[in-house]
Structure 1
Amino acid sequence: MNMASILLNTLSFLSVSSVVEALWHTVRTPRVPISQNTKAFLGYPEDSLLNFTELTTKYGYPSDEHTVVTEDGYILTLFRITKARNCFNSKRYPPVLLMHGLQLNSHAWIDSGPSSGLAYLLSDACYDVWAGNVRGNDYGRRHVSLNPNKDPKFWDFYIEEMGKYDLPAIIDYILDYTKSMKINYIGYSQGGGTFFVMCSERPGYCDKVQLMTALAPATRHYSTRSLAFRSATQLFEKLEKPLSVYGYYEVFANGAVTQEFLALFCQLSFLTTKLCGGFLNLIELLYSLHPGSITKYTIEVLFGHFPAGTSLRNMARYGQSMRSKRFQKFDYGREQNLVVYGREEPPEYNLSAVTVPLVCLYGRNDGIVDTRDIAWLIPQLPNVLEAKMVDDPLWNHFDMAYSQYTRNELFPTINKYLLQFSAP
């Protein structure tokens, strides 16, 4: 090997090492949450400091907290809004379960406030609203025997386990608690994809759902236009093994330096607040821009709860989905696939098993769940009632959870079908 080759290889190694080190220090850095008193002193919006029950109660929607334990020992927090400020009739049944997207938690449904948060809108329409969380976020960071700070095995999951264990446990809990025969389900992004995984891998669980509403459901991401999302997830895919050697298994934990910095950056002064809005605009520009759809206050609040954390394996799996035209399981490489699956290629999820009546809403301007991937998905689902592109031509992926226009752009269609599949 000549000197030039040695130098090139050395520089390549140092480059990879520097990326690993940077990720180690900026992403995995231990959780060092700033105290609530300090945040209040610095002028953080109160809503960004409150947990789910505190926040909903503040606006006249009392809620309670439930604990769900999965078959494989993960402890998940589930919330139920027990009373709505503007519902004066008996609740409609069956219950409605809301499931969030990647790096989010149950706050995704309330951070935009009572006038546009979907959990509030549904509650005011007298639905029995439940908001779930999956393993790995700040409301799902517990286990009966594994310590997420010490045991790598805790983080050995991706959407497969969420669909096989988390959703069935949550659904069974709600059915048992409410004595209902079925639920209605609304899944945003990853919350839609994990539902499809559940139907594929857990026969019978689709039958426990009366109606599924998919908001920009994440399956394959072959056509994703977002350079930011594509680059980040594929970087995690490439570096999964070396990062694991470094002991790095958790990505963007709530309360870690990355999340705390974003929250602090958005609160300190008028200047940084404007920069924070610009930061979100930059993100939207990389994903797809929709000026004014998400309010300044919502931006400040959501950065108190986002990112909420997930596993390195889950992020790497999203990186893989950028290269595949199939909605498939984790690709371990040909040799390991033979061991895990008995075949060289990972199996596809069986979308024909999603037999529940389904409504899909998606945006023309969505840079993460592209309309071409929706067009690929819909014909494979056997019981689609309607697949509707949101009327607003600038509607993007973030809008599905945080837009101030949810009441007009999403809720009428959601409510239309829920009314058909609900009773007083």
Structure 2
Amino acid sequence: MFSKEYLYILLLLILLQKLFKNKKAKTSRELKLQQGYPLNSLLNFTELATKYGYASEQHTLTTDDGYILTMFRITRGKNCHGPIRDPPVLLMHGLLMSSDSWMDAGPKAGLAYLISDLCYDLWVPNIRGNYYSKKHIKLDPEKDHEYWDFSTIEFAYYDIPASIDYVLNYTMSEKINYVGYSQGGSTFLIMNSERTEYHDKIGVGILLQPGSRQIYTRSQLLRHFTYAYQINLTYLYKIGIYEALPLGGIVQKVAAFLCKNYIIADTVCRNFLSIIDSFHPGSVETETIRVLMGHFPAGTSVKNMAWYGQAMNVDVFQKFDYGPSKNLQMYGTAEPPPFNLSAVTVPVVVIHGRNDFLTSPADTDWLTNHLPNVLEDYYVVDPLWNHFDVTYSHFTAKSILPKIKEYLEKYSQIREMCLAKTQTINKYK
């Protein structure tokens, strides 16, 4: 199915990560600036928000299984000049990304800026295992391999519910509206199929090119890479590799170093992104490529990468495959059971592109046909719209924001109106 030579090369990259993992000598920001790194690639979420005039906060929460996560909040967009709307919006990133991915395209294109500019109280979580959420109440990710025993299923069962509950408790709202991209879409689907008590906590789910079954993924590089993790998972565990593609790892360091150069970013780095996804001329600005490599890849577990390898080779959307023997222990069946998509009764909007090589139109159409409450299955008008465009294209304001805005408005109201109504009710109690 795949050439052995290709898999050996990918495995070598994974092993190099192990070699360089513990070399933590940090280069100062000042020195990196002198070396030509763009400033925005060195700034974190709150620093980026502050730079462009957005009021932001950093929050910490703990999941039921002990993972400590970082979530950011933009309380008011710079271009929001009216009252804040309710309920809050949760904006969830994709695979190997972090909250920073929503900022990398700048204030005219990054969805964190654009959605907050629509006067929404915006919350931007980080999944366990990325560089913002690499803590645990008991486990040390550098020493305890148990920390890395997770995949997208745990994101959905623990991380997303913890984020929702935190926002609801903090804001005293009854619901949130959810915007999830790629893995952020698949986690939404899994959560709502496994933990149906969260249906009443969500107004609408707006899923941007969501992952599910991925049998028709056209990205050969992603197929080879995740398959390498899948078939070598046991071996990687034996040699002590549990973390995949961390920020500060060899892959990210080399990418950031090379892509800081404008010419290399516009040629080599742009072409590499096109190999992972597809070619969309003029969509992602060169400066965005220079910036994003400072925040991507953001890290995850090798188990999660192996789960994606599994997802691209089975014709269903299913739980993690441990092999027949352990599957019997875990699930009571030799094969991992599929997720019950018919249980996802939350109103859902699906937005996707025809040129997406990671979550293909065929798989997305399969998904929408299995969901019981799809408000709209919307294809972006631009025929070249691809997967990375959601986070990095400078066309987001015209290509996907209007549809996001439409459904957020349908499931929102002015917060002051909500407060006034509550005060009136309390007055006559």
Q: TM-score range by the shorter chain?
A: over 0.9
TM-aligned CA deviation for residue 281 of structure 1: 2.1
What TM-score does the superposition give when structure 2 sets the normalisation length? 0.92
> Equivalent residue for 1:246?
239
TM-aligned CA deviation for residue 27 of structure 1: 6.1
> Equivalent residue for 2:98?
105
Residues 175 and 181, structure 1, Cα contact 8 Å, conserved in 2: yes
Q: How many correspondences in the alignment?
A: 409
Alpha-carbon distance in 1 for matches of 2:207, 2:27? 36
Partner of residue 373 from structure 1, selected from 363, 367, 377: 363
Residues 112 and 298, structure 1, Cα contact 8 Å, conserved in 2: yes
Residues 247 and 295, structure 2, Cα contact 8 Å, conserved in 1: yes
TM-aligned CA deviation for residue 246 of structure 1: 0.5
Q: Can you list the C-alpha shifts for 1:111-153, whole angstroms capped at 9, x where unaligned?
A: 1011011111111110111101100101111111101011100
Q: Can you list the C-alpha shifts for 1:36-93, whole angstroms capped at 9, x where unaligned?
A: 2221221211111111001011001020000010000101000000222111111000
Matched, 1:196 2:189: yes
Residues 198 and 206, structure 1, Cα contact 8 Å, conserved in 2: no
Alpha-carbon distance in 1 for matches of 2:9, 2:248? 24
Identity value in percent? 48
| Structure 2: gaps spanning 5 or more residues | 415-429
Alpha-carbon distance in 1 for matches of 2:258, 2:323? 40
Summarize the alignment of residues 33-48 of structure 1 with structure 2, pairs less than 5 Å apart.
33-48=26-41
Residues 91 and 123, structure 2, Cα contact 8 Å, conserved in 1: yes
Residues 27 and 252, structure 1, Cα contact 8 Å, conserved in 2: no
Residues 205 and 346, structure 2, Cα contact 8 Å, conserved in 1: yes
Matched, 1:394 2:389: no
Partner of residue 270 from structure 2, selected from 268, 271, 280: 280
TM-aligned CA deviation for residue 263 of structure 1: 0.6
Matched, 1:259 2:231: no
Please state whether the residue corresponding to 1:96 is helix, strand or coil.
Answer: strand
Alpha-carbon distance in 1 for matches of 2:141, 2:311? 26
Alpha-carbon distance in 1 for matches of 2:366, 2:9? 39
Residues 28 and 248, structure 1, Cα contact 8 Å, conserved in 2: no
TM-aligned CA deviation for residue 22 of structure 1: 4.3
> Equivalent residue for 2:163?
170
Residues 28 and 252, structure 1, Cα contact 8 Å, conserved in 2: no
| Structure 1: gaps spanning 5 or more residues | 1-11
Residues 236 and 312, structure 1, Cα contact 8 Å, conserved in 2: yes
Q: Can you list the C-alpha shifts for 1:193-241, whole angstroms capped at 9, x where unaligned?
A: 0011111111211221001000000011100011011110011101111
> Equivalent residue for 2:20?
29
Residues 20 and 243, structure 1, Cα contact 8 Å, conserved in 2: no
Matched, 1:159 2:146: no
Summarize the alignment of residues 173-322 of structure 1 with structure 2, pairs less than 5 Å apart.
173-267=166-260, 269-274=261-266, 277-322=267-312
TM-aligned CA deviation for residue 283 of structure 1: 2.7
Alpha-carbon distance in 2 for matches of 1:16, 1:292? 32
What TM-score does the superposition give when structure 1 sets the normalisation length? 0.93
Partner of residue 71 from structure 1, selected from 61, 64, 70: 64
Residues 34 and 260, structure 1, Cα contact 8 Å, conserved in 2: no
TM-aligned CA deviation for residue 29 of structure 1: 2.8
AA matched with 1:130: W
AA matched with 2:15: W
> Equivalent residue for 2:394?
404
- Bigger shift: residues 404-413 or 24-33: 24-33
Residues 10 and 225, structure 2, Cα contact 8 Å, conserved in 1: no
Pair 1:17–1:378, CA change in 2 (3 A): closer
Alpha-carbon distance in 2 for matches of 1:323, 1:257? 28
- Bigger shift: residues 99-108 or 330-339: 330-339
TM-aligned CA deviation for residue 256 of structure 1: 1.6
Alpha-carbon distance in 1 for matches of 2:235, 2:256? 29
TM-aligned CA deviation for residue 355 of structure 1: 1.0
